[in-house]
C-alpha cells in the first residue's frame, strides 16, 4: 500500500429510495433511512477514500464501525456520507465519518479498516468454510 495522507476524504452521495427505508428491515411503518443502509454507505465512503493507494491484489475490510444515527431522513432526500482518514499505522486505517442530508448532520462516528492481501484472505476464508463443512454433522463443532 502506498502512503495515505491524514485528512484524505472519501464521499458518497445517494438519494433515499424505498429499498433504503427502515421498514425494509423488519421495522414496519418506519419510512425513513435505515441505520444498516447508512452503515453500508459509510463503509463505501471509507473504501473510496483509500482506493487509489491500494496496490494490485490489496483490499480493505471493515473491522469496527461505531455510529450515532442522530436524525431521521425521509425518502427522496439526498444524503452525503464522508469518511476522513484520521490515522494510518501499518495496515490499520481509522476514519471519522459523517452523514448529511439536505438539511442537517444526520449521523457521525468512527470506522476502522484493515488492509489485506486479497488472495491470502480469501484462501483463509475458503479454508474456514471447508472446516465448517466437515464439522456440521458434529454438535461439538459449534
Which of these, 116, 103, 127, lies nearest to 33 by C-alpha position? 103
Q: Where does 12-74 have alpha helices with state H?
A: 35-50
> How far, in Å, CA of 66 to CA of 93, rounded?
14
Active site amino acids? 35, 43, 69
Sorted by sequence, the CB contacts under 8 Å of residue 89 that are 6+ apart come out as: none
CB atoms within 10 A of CB 75: 14
Amino acid at each position: 500500500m502506498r502512503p495515505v495522507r491524514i485528512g484524505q476524504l472519501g464521499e458518497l452521495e445517494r438519494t433515499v429510495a424505498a429499498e433504503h427505508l427502515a421498514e425494509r428491515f423488519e421495522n414496519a411503518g418506519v419510512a425513513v433511512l435505515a441505520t444498516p443502509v447508512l452503515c453500508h454507505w459509510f463503509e463505501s465512503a471509507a473504501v473510496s477514500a483509500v482506493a487509489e493507494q491500494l496496490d494490485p491484489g490489496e483490499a480493505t475490510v471493515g473491522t469496527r464501525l461505531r455510529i450515532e444515527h442522530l436524525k431521521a431522513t425521509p425518502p427522496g432526500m439526498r444524503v452525503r456520507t464522508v469518511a476522513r482518514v484520521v490515522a494510518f499505522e501499518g495496515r490499520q486505517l481509522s476514519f471519522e465519518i459523517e452523514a448529511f442530508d439536505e438539511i442537517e448532520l444526520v449521523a457521525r462516528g468512527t470506522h476502522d479498516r484493515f488492509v489485506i492481501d486479497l488472495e491470502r484472505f480469501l484462501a483463509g476464508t475458503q479454508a474456514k468454510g471447508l472446516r465448517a463443512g466437515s464439522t456440521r454433522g458434529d454438535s461439538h463443532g459449534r
